[in-house]
Amino acid sequence: MKIFQHVSDIGDLGAALAEAQEVKRDRFQWQHLGRNKTALLIFFNNSLRTRLSTQKAAMNLGMNVIVLDVNQGAWKLETERGVIMDGDKSEHLLEAIPVMGSYCDIIGVRSFARFENRQDDYEERILQQFIRYSGRPVFFMESATVHPLQAFADLITIEEHKATARPKVVMTWAPHPKALPQAVPNSFAEWMLAADVDFVVTHPEGYELDPQFVAGARVEYDQMRAFEGADFVYAKNWSCPGVTRPADYGRVLDDYHTMMDWTVSARQMAVTNDAHFLHCLPVRRNMIVTDDIIEGPRSLVIPEAANREISAQVVLKRMLEAL
């Protein structure tokens, strides 16, 4: 594997899930693969789970790991060509990327949506430059539009806890005080549509996700109806994807105080099939989900986060095998 961005990059999902379980059985059995190999993890944005789980996965494989927080100690980077660099940015990404590539064997990059220009975000301008100029395999650690390591971990968690062959999985929008990107819901939708689940998306009108990720999904604007009979509830906020009105891209469409009936609580969970609750974390309690649900016996948020180590290890293992 040279690029890890979309569900198609992982190939057959059944094989990937079986490999994840093999990793879980003994995560240290491939230490020889990473010997004298270096993973460089580059963060343009904050992280807890991705940072720790990916480092751990690389160490499980015997790799050396370098973590760079671009905004803490590195030169401030210009990303646009043609700019006269007389401001506060001392280095251009076009030099920085091949230099970074020269110090490692595999690169992971986190670079969120900037919300300045929908086209720039949806064309993945930053990550595409890493793919083009680093000379290394690149895996996405949450980009402007996707978070595949999270979606893979989510799928592993669903597979481990499902009680029926084809569970009903509902992804619900939930309120949040700030504008958040669409990367997590985009990837979750993409991966669920590729998996053998009954997938339903529910959100207020105006938050329609990009068809490249949700085409084929059932969209239900009535949250209570969507939750009926659900086996898994996946909560997430996202800002307006700008599909129907590009000018609204990245906006929070309504004052969140008026949207609090979308917060996942016992009221909605009562109509599910005793659903498990999932969230990628970090989560704002009593905005996205009430305390009792996230702390309750059906919450899977901690095993879900733990599976981030497993999804990252499968991806790194496959990249090492292809070097």
Is residue 48 a contact residue for ligand CP (CB under 6 A)? yes
Considering only 1, 20, 27, 50, the residue that binds ligand CP (CB under 6 A) is 50
Please give the residues from 67 up to 106 whose contact with ligand CP meets the rule CB under 6 A. Answer: none
Cβ 43 to ligand CP, closest distance in Å? 9
Is residue 38 a contact residue for ligand CP (CB under 6 A)? no
- What separation, in Å, do the N-terminal and C-terminal C-alpha atoms of the chain show? 9
How many chain residues are in contact with ligand CP, going by CB under 6 A? 9
Cβ 302 to ligand CP, closest distance in Å? 12
Question: 205 and 211 in contact (C-beta within 8 Å)?
Answer: no
Q: Which residues pair with 233 in a beta bridge?
A: 170, 277
Cβ 185 to ligand CP, closest distance in Å? 13
Residues 313, 260: Cα–Cα separation, whole Å: 38
Choices 5-13, 42-50, 61-69, 128-136 (CB under 6 A): range interacting with ligand CP:
42-50
Site track 130-149 with ligand CP (rule: CB under 6 A), x = hit: ------------x-------
* CB nearer ligand CP, residue 142 or residue 190: 142
* CB nearer ligand CP, residue 45 or residue 79: 45
Tell me the DSSP string of 79-144: -STT----SS--EEHHHHHHHHHTT-SEEEEE----SS-HHHHHTTHHHHHHHHHS-S-EEESS-S
CA dihedral 224, 213, 309, 67 (to 10 degrees): -130
Please give the residue whose beta carbon sits closest to ligand CP in the complex.
Answer: 50
Of 196, 181, 195, 175, the C-alpha closest to 256 is 175
Considering only 38, 47, 64, 273, the residue that binds ligand CP (CB under 6 A) is 47
Of 207, 4, 5, 246, the C-alpha closest to 120 is 246
* CB nearer ligand CP, residue 150 or residue 157: 150
Choices 16-24, 186-194, 230-238, 276-284 (CB under 6 A): range interacting with ligand CP:
276-284
* CB nearer ligand CP, residue 30 or residue 140: 140
* CB nearer ligand CP, residue 78 or residue 309: 309
Strand intervals (E) in the chain: 3-4, 38-43, 64-69, 77-78, 91-92, 106-110, 138-140, 168-173, 198-202, 218-219, 232-236, 276-278
The position carrying tokens 């059995």 is 29
* CB nearer ligand CP, residue 272 or residue 307: 307
Question: What secondary structure letter does DSSP report for 258?
Answer: G
Is residue 111 a contact residue for ligand CP (CB under 6 A)? no
* CB nearer ligand CP, residue 78 or residue 155: 155
Tokens of 48: 């807890």
Considering only 280, 289, 301, 320, the residue that binds ligand CP (CB under 6 A) is 280
Is residue 281 a contact residue for ligand CP (CB under 6 A)? yes
Burial class from Cβ neighbours inside 10 Å (0-12, 13-18, 19+) for residue 306 reads middle
Tokens of 120: 């720039």
Binding-site ranges for ligand CP (CB under 6 A)? 47-50, 142, 150, 280-282
